[in-house]
Chains A and B, each alone.
Chain A
Amino acid sequence: DTGVSQNPRHKITKRGQNVTFRCDPISEHNRLYWYRQTLGQGPEFLTYFQNEAQLEKSRLLSDRFSAERPKGSFSTLEIQRTEQGDSAMYLCASSPGGVTGERYTFGSGTRLTVV
Chain B
Amino acid sequence: DQQVKQNSPSLSVQEGRISILNCDYTNSMFDYFLWYKKYPAEGPTFLISISSIKDKNEDGRFTVFLNKSAKHLSLHIVPSQPGDSAVYFCAASPAGGTSYGKLTFGQGTILTVHP
Question: A and B from one assembly?
Answer: yes
- For the complex, is A108 an interface residue (Cβ under 8 Å from B)? yes
Using Cβ atoms and an 8 Å threshold, which residues of chain A touch B46?
103-105
Q: Is A48 a contact partner of B102 (Cβ separation < 8 A)?
A: yes
Tier of interface size on chain B: 20 to 34
- For the complex, is A93 an interface residue (Cβ under 8 Å from B)? yes
Kindly supply a per-residue 1/0 record for chain B positions 24-49, scoring 1 wherever the CB is within 8 Å of any chain A CB and 0 otherwise: 00000000101010000111111001
Using Cβ atoms and an 8 Å threshold, which residues of chain B touch A41?
107-108
- For the complex, is A85 an interface residue (Cβ under 8 Å from B)? no
A108 and B101 CA atoms in complex are apart in Å by: 20
Kindly supply a per-residue 1/0 record for chain A positions 74-93, scoring 1 wherever the CB is within 8 Å of any chain B CB and 0 otherwise: 00000000000000000101
Question: How close is B110's CB to chain A, nearest CB, in angstroms?
Answer: 10
A109 and B42 CA atoms in complex are apart in Å by: 7
Given A56-B98, A102-B34, A102-B93: A108 in contact with B42 (beta carbons within 8 A)? yes
Given A45-B104, A102-B91, A103-B34: A56 in contact with B99 (beta carbons within 8 A)? yes
A106 and B9 CA atoms in complex are apart in Å by: 22
- For the complex, is B103 an interface residue (Cβ under 8 Å from A)? yes
Kindly supply a per-residue 1/0 record for chain B positions 83-115, scoring 1 wherever the CB is within 8 Å of any chain A CB and 0 otherwise: 000000101010000111111111110000000
Question: How close is A97's CB to chain B, nearest CB, in angstroms?
Answer: 7
Residue of A35, A43, A106 touching B45 (CB-CB under 8 A): A106
Residue of B41, B49, B107 touching A108 (CB-CB under 8 A): B41
A22 and B43 CA atoms in complex are apart in Å by: 15
Q: Is A42 a contact partner of B106 (Cβ separation < 8 A)?
A: yes
Write 29 A-B pairs (CB below 8 A) sorted by A numbering. A31-B101, A33-B102, A33-B103, A40-B9, A40-B107, A41-B107, A42-B4, A42-B89, A42-B91, A42-B106, A42-B107, A43-B105, A44-B105, A48-B102, A56-B99, A56-B102, A91-B44, A95-B101, A101-B101, A102-B32, A102-B91, A102-B101, A102-B103, A103-B46, A104-B44, A104-B103, A107-B43, A108-B41, A109-B43
